[in-house]
Structure 1
Amino acid sequence: MTYPNGKLSEEKVFKDPVHRYVHVRDKLIWDLIGTSEFQRLRRIRQLGTTYLTFHGAEHSRFNHSLGVYEIIRRIIDDVFREREHWNQDERLLCLCAALLHDLGHGPFSHSFEKVFHLDHEDFTQAIILGDTEVNHVLRRMGDDFPKKVAEVIAKTYENKLVVSLISSQIDADRMDYLQRDAYYTGVSYGHFDMERILRVMRPREDQVVIKHSGMHAVEDYIMSRYQMYWQIYFHPVTRSAEVILTKILHRAKYLHQEYYSFKQEPVHFYSLFEEEISLRDYLRLDESVIMFYFQAWQDEEDTILAELCRRFLDRNLFKYIEFNPNSQMKMWMELTRLFEKAGIDPDYYLVVDSSSDLPYDFYRPGEEEERLPIHLLMPNGELRELSRESEIVESISGKKRTDHKLYFPQDLIRNLPDSCKEKEKILQLLEQVDH
């Protein structure tokens, strides 16, 4: 079955706090939003454990996905329409890829992926290409249409202009999440003049370029991205919650491998623990399922699992200090030894966590990840790479910033009996590392 004229009899709108309204005129998009796989995104937070730091950050992958769709719709319908280099036949392909780009995210996305060696992009493609409601809706546009949508999201689609709209250094995905995450966390760093950026975007053969007159709006966007990463995404308190979450999942996996008898059997985790998860099992996972287990595991016989679950649910997070792995590794090894002697398992309670970000880069031949630079369209029609024209962007181009923290349970250490010889040494060492 195909769509007769493909339009709804009446436009549907979603009220949105960031874009005011999200407009849906295409029946294909409306039907995709109604699929069970897309509705599942309502039950997965956009920012993982950030709600434990910024209490407003309860928004979901669902509303971010609608936001990315709306930005792409405005670019295509309001800015690119009838311009040279833009093929209107790719319109629905772009809209579907924008809407579905995060479809494969699991609960507490990145922490979850690290523990179980998963990649949400693989699951996004598996959902689009598999025996799913999303696939059945997409196939109404032709048997090869789901494959094209998956290729756009995987960045392998032949038309690189279409890919760059959804995945580049200035794309609809980033433009939505920076503003949305700033709104829900209540900070001002993520705000930039998106209206201006959209007005000065132009389609070229292989990427979106920006008119030179819009350079300052792009500078503002890049600086807001830089600030958001260090003030929100890499916030040390959020990372503390992630460390505990990760350790809970590691502990549960370890206990399963040791044939531990759970009071609350981790039925939803079995195929994850065996690293043989099916698409059906994966789609049954969301954050409410995970939180159910954390709630139940507080009563487990295993003291480490029970204690970590209580910590996470009660927001009794680990403390942290700055840590330099180059100069302080000996201290860390000594702390590990002292923790063991004091009866605190360092595998779960002494954790070095590192974050790094590269706010903007231009293409450097031979690098593993090819980063397509932002190009400015000059008045004479030539293209100039952004950092060649902007002193602000040049000052941060290619500069990777890395930050290391050492996390530990200060309350457990302070609650060690005074007769424990290691207690004072641990406290002294932690103070030394901090200075």
Structure 2
Amino acid sequence: MNDSKIINDPIFGFIKIPHGLLLNIVEHPLMQRLTRIKQLGLTLMVYPSAQHTRFQHSLGAFHLMSEAITSLTQKGIFIFDSEAEAVEAAILMHDIGHGPFSHVLEHTLINGICHEEISLLMMEQINREMNGELNLALKIFKNEYPKRFLHQLISSQLDMDRLDYLRRDSFYTGVTEGNIGSARIIKMLDVHNDSLVVNSKGIYTIENYLMARRLMYWQVYLHKTTVSSEKMLVNALMRAKQLAHNGKDIFATPSLKYFLYNDIDAETFKKDEDAQRHYAILDDNDIISSIKVWTENDDKVLSILASDIINRKIFKVEIYNEPISDNYIKSKKHQIADKLCISEDEANFLISVDTVQKDMYDIHDDHITILFKDNITKDISESSEVLNIALLSKKIRKYYLCYQRF
């Protein structure tokens, strides 16, 4: 009898999922929902091949976790089989609470709750269904387990989540400069004083990883077309929600309709089984199906936004290094209102101002520790010849103005 299921992955080849707890998680409906949620949301407006799913990413992160456990065990780091299975279960489910189109929904249709909290709620639900088999996985996920390095494998500067999504997103977007040496990084990982460290032989690989990550953020995740596409989607959902609140009948799939017609905050979401049930049904298809119908809506603003998204008529984007003046924003808004014969309040939905900031590396927040001979440790910023702390910690801030094209 075969004791594992094999899935063929274009990045890592064959991924083995053992029968039992781990396969039960993979086959759970909440996990299968991730097959219907794209990993990069509207990034496909820039990179049409970026069609991979959160499910594929979760499997990849699980595979890397298995590799990391094997590598650390070979170095004499003692990890029980139960701990290995638990940390693998935790990384499998780390994204389970993601909504459609990445982070767009969690700030638009639900207020005050992030996908990490929803992931935890869903993991606790699966744990109840599995009679507590995930107790240890939840402890590690919440960083409540004595072996802290196990949590770092799930969430840190060098976690398996990042190692997979950088490789995978680089592959599917075709941005080859973002490719990282994940196998080499995993081979260089070690544990020192219950903390994840990197052997000094791996410094160059880590330098490449940090540079690749910076490039992926500005060239893919924060690409101006991705940012403006997300703004259009957020504004379309906000307009639909406003119309729903004003008593207008807005077409939407039942679960999307629930969030359009009800104000759901964190407290309500955590207590209300209806809210959780509808959220667990939502995926990319609900949003796209509804938006396709909105292109014909008799509300001018909603139909413009919906048509823009469906037909890839992206908001024009202007990027500045300094804050954009209120007068300039007002003049743009006035132009839009005049051109479309709509009110300035309505024109608000066809313009968006945003500040985008990304630190390449924050030594105070989370750091990468390099392990040298004689058990001496130093931060990467002190160990690298090419990445000085000033360069690494430089905060890059850009100001985006997105608005309707004519």
TM-score by length of 1: 0.84
Question: Paired residue for 1:241?
Answer: 229
One-letter identity of the residue aligned with 2:8: K
Q: CA deviation at 1:194?
A: 1.8
Question: Paired residue for 1:391?
Answer: 385
Asked if residue 257 in structure 1 is aligned to residue 245 in structure 2, the reply is yes
Q: 1:176 aligns with which of 153, 164, 169?
A: 164
Distance 2:32 2:128 in 1: 14
More divergent stretch after superposition (350-359 vs 311-320)? 350-359
Question: Paired residue for 2:115?
Answer: 120
Q: For 1:151-166, list aligned pairs within 5 A.
A: 151-166=139-154
Question: Paired residue for 2:69?
Answer: 76
Describe the SS at the equivalent of 2:394: coil
Q: For 1:417-432, list aligned pairs within 5 A.
A: none
Asked if residue 111 in structure 1 is aligned to residue 104 in structure 2, the reply is yes
Q: What RMSD over aligned residues (CA atoms) do the two structures have, in Å?
A: 2.0
Question: Paired residue for 2:318?
Answer: 321
- Tell whether the 8 Å contact from 1:85 to 1:203 is kept in structure 2 after alignment: no
Q: For 1:231-310, list aligned pairs within 5 A.
A: 231-262=219-250, 264=251, 267-272=254-259, 273-275=262-264, 276-277=268-269, 278-310=275-307
Question: Paired residue for 1:414?
Answer: none
Distance 1:338 1:292 in 2: 31
Asked if residue 41 in structure 1 is aligned to residue 34 in structure 2, the reply is yes
Distance 1:84 1:31 in 2: 28
- Tell whether the 8 Å contact from 2:256 to 2:286 is kept in structure 1 after alignment: no
Larger Rg belongs to: 1
User: Which ranges in structure 1 are unaligned for 5 or more consecutive residues?
Assistant: 1-7, 364-370, 412-435
One-letter identity of the residue aligned with 2:119: T
Asked if residue 377 in structure 1 is aligned to residue 371 in structure 2, the reply is yes
Q: CA deviation at 1:339?
A: 3.8
Distance 1:268 1:178 in 2: 32
Q: CA deviation at 1:108?
A: 0.7
Asked if residue 196 in structure 1 is aligned to residue 184 in structure 2, the reply is yes
Question: Paired residue for 1:358?
Answer: 359
Describe the SS at the equivalent of 1:9: coil
- Tell whether the 8 Å contact from 2:351 to 2:403 is kept in structure 1 after alignment: yes
Query: CA separation of 1:327/1:241 partners in 2, compared to 1, >3 Å: closer, same or farther?
Result: closer
Distance 1:231 1:80 in 2: 37
Asked if residue 185 in structure 1 is aligned to residue 179 in structure 2, the reply is no
Q: 2:6 aligns with which of 9, 13, 19?
A: 13
Distance 1:327 1:282 in 2: 36
Asked if residue 98 in structure 1 is aligned to residue 116 in structure 2, the reply is no
Query: CA separation of 1:155/1:53 partners in 2, compared to 1, >3 Å: closer, same or farther?
Result: farther
Question: Paired residue for 1:60?
Answer: 53
Describe the SS at the equivalent of 1:189: helix
Distance 2:62 2:186 in 1: 14
More divergent stretch after superposition (37-46 vs 148-157)? 148-157
Percent identity (aligned): 27
Question: Paired residue for 1:409?
Answer: 404
Describe the SS at the equivalent of 2:134: helix
Describe the SS at the equivalent of 2:15: strand
Question: Paired residue for 2:217?
Answer: 229
One-letter identity of the residue aligned with 1:288: N
One-letter identity of the residue aligned with 1:355: V
The count of aligned residue pairs is 389
Query: CA separation of 1:299/1:336 partners in 2, compared to 1, >3 Å: closer, same or farther?
Result: closer
Question: Paired residue for 1:427?
Answer: none
- Tell whether the 8 Å contact from 2:86 to 2:134 is kept in structure 1 after alignment: no
**CA deviation digits over 1:299-346, x for unaligned, max 9?**
222111112111101111111112355363332233334444553533
One-letter identity of the residue aligned with 1:259: G
Query: CA separation of 1:50/1:88 partners in 2, compared to 1, >3 Å: closer, same or farther?
Result: same
Q: 2:195 aligns with which of 199, 203, 207?
A: 207
Question: Paired residue for 1:347?
Answer: 348
Query: CA separation of 1:336/1:325 partners in 2, compared to 1, >3 Å: closer, same or farther?
Result: farther
Distance 1:242 1:283 in 2: 22
One-letter identity of the residue aligned with 1:103: I
**CA deviation digits over 1:48-102, x for unaligned, max 9?**
1011110000000000000000000011124324614544541111100111100
